Amino acid sequence: MTLTALEQAITVDLDGTTVSGVYARPASGAAEATIVVAHGAGAGMEHPFMSGFTRALNDDGFATLRFNFAYREAGRRFPDRPPAAIAAWRTVMDAAAERAAQAGFPGEPRWAAGKSFGGRMASMAVAEGMDAAGLVFLGYPLHAPGKADKPRDEHLPGITVPMLFLQGRNDPFAIPNEQLDEVAERVGPNAVVDWIENANHSFEVKGAKRPAAEIGASLAVPAAAFVREHATVA
């Protein structure tokens, strides 16, 4: 992939704890929106899936900021508790707004996106009042594998911003598939589920091996289309 945006390594202060991030804008400076992206529970922002996703968005005219949660920055394996992760989301979204303003684009719309855990924490932050133009989930962990009777959906119906669920049909965190479809129906027309046929939680398709960066980049296409369809001015 030919990069059309300059990536900048940044740090964000989370109430005394410093975490790493990567910020990028299209070469032209102007962007249709800033999409802030959080990693999943098992891999950080440096994972090729994450960089592939954000770089494809940059090439398509969006600014991005991907970041590490504090636990990942510290080298811990167990994810931060929701209050800490939600606070991190708020702080990083504010940092994204500051970066856009410094680039000369105050008020640029900001979207929150995340892989699995990162997306779920983003949705909880929005449910608690975090300002975001919309949400993009890269594999929403509706429940632990094999525990469909304990869904993590109680906060979703209260969210009114547009939400895109990019979900693999073979994702054990969303089987049976009908359960996520039913959640989206309860939320209302602002929630859309885009099923990726034969894909697992990492969006890998059996018998069609692709590099993680390519998989991430492929998901940027429907994500960008959804953001454009729901374009707003912050």
Distance between CA atoms of residues 64 and 86, nearest Å: 19
Q: Are strands 63-67 and 34-38 parallel, antiparallel or unpaired?
A: parallel
* pLDDT tens sequence across 48-98: 999 999 999 999 999 999 999 999 999 999 999 999 999 999 999 999 999
* pLDDT tens sequence across 31-55: 999 999 999 998 999 999 999 999 9
For residue 191, the one-letter residue type is A
Domain 5-229 has CATH 3.30.565.10: no
The pTM (predicted TM-score) of the whole model is 0.94
Q: Report which of 157, 168, 121, 116 is spatially closest to residue 140, judged by C-alpha positions.
A: 116
> Could you tell me where the DSSP H helices lie in the chain?
48-59, 70-73, 82-102, 117-127, 177-187, 212-229
Please state, in angstroms and as integers, the Cα–Cα distance from residue 5 to each residue in 8, 162, 215, following that order. Answer: 9, 27, 20
Domain residue ranges of the chain, discontinuous segments joined by +? 5-229
